[in-house]
Amino acid sequence: MIALLLVALLLGAWQLYAVHGPVDDLILPAPSEIATALWEDRALLWDNFLVTAQEVALGIVAALVVGFACATALHFWRPLRRATYPLLVASQAVPIVIVAPLLIVWLGFGMAPKVAIIALICFFPIVVTTLDGLGRVDRDTLRLLRTLDASRWAAFRFAEAPAALPAALSGAKIAVAVAVIGAVFAEYSGSSEGLGHLILQAIPQLETARAWAAVVVLAAFAVALFYALDLAQRRLLPWTTNERTS
């Protein structure tokens, strides 16, 4: 309710500023123009959205799988963790714009380099939250498992991994918004389709409203993805929500 009111207020102010303010509408189109573009270009937006959505979804899934595996490895071998953690953090500081062309050289112009870039972006938050989840299993639970003759692997399989799963999804939730921006940058670096590509084309064509319409779709997608992950977390791993209420 309050959220809706806030959005309406923002849109109203934006509309007034775009129409009466000093900024040219080629730089900042009014919400009404963006809405018109959304409607008129809906087929174009939809086709490109499908491409970007696929890249982002695949990228997040890849990051979840690889991130979980890496977090597990780092969890099992502390020396490895100490050695590679700074490297992991440093990798996050490398701007995508720099890495993207390299990945395109390696992986070609298709979907693969985009998926790789998005996975790269989501990888770090997922590793961090998963490691945290793995490490947060009760010491007493692990002791109990020992009295039940659990091997190190069994302790992971029956206690640590299930505890870390919701943590991994939390990492993915954190990564969602950045993943969408990552997709745009990935498409900037070389592609013939996707919303990022659409934005890149629309701006020199002075189709600013269309570019903004693409941004609106991207933002809506990020929100939808966030809530989809939230729902997955609650559906697949319901004890995390039970825990909070009990």
Partner 1 sequence: MHSTPSPATASAPALDGQGIRVEAATRRYGAVTAVEDLSLAVSPGEVVAVVGPSGCGKSTLLSLVCGLERPDAGTVAADPAALMPQRDLLLPWASALDNAALPLRLRGAGRREARAAAAPVLAEFGLAGFERARPGELSGGMRQRVAFLRTLLAGKPVLCLDEPFGALDAIARAEMQRWLADALAREPRTVLLVTHDVEEAVLLGDRVAVMSPRPGRVVADLRVDVPRPRVATDPAVVELRARALAALGGEAAA
Contact residues for partner 1, defined by CB under 8 A:
138, 140-141, 143-150, 154, 158-159, 162-163, 237-239, 242-243, 246
Q: Output 48 or 72, the one with its CB closest to partner 1.
A: 72
Minimum distance between the CB of residue 87 and partner 1, rounded to whole angstroms?
A: 32
- Number of neighbours of residue 25 by Cβ within 10 angstroms: 13
Q: Give the nearer residue to partner 1 in terms of CB position, either 58 or 150.
A: 150
**Which residue number, 11 or 142, has a Cβ lying nearer to partner 1?**
142
User: Token match 């298709």: residue?
Assistant: 110
Question: CB 144 → partner 1: shortest distance, Å?
Answer: 5
Q: How far is the CB of 67 from partner 1 (least distance, A)?
A: 20
Please state the closest distance from residue 245 (CB atom) to partner 1, in A.
8
Nearer CB in complex with partner 1: 206/236: 236
Task: Report the residue count for the chain.
Answer: 246
Q: CB within 8 A of 169, min separation 6: which ones?
A: 64, 229, 232, 233, 237
Q: What share of the chain is helix, strand, coil (3-state, %, to 5)?
A: 85, 0, 15
Cα–Cα distance for residue pair 183/197, rounded to 1 Å = 10
Over its C-alpha atoms, the chain yields an Rg (Å, rounded) of 22
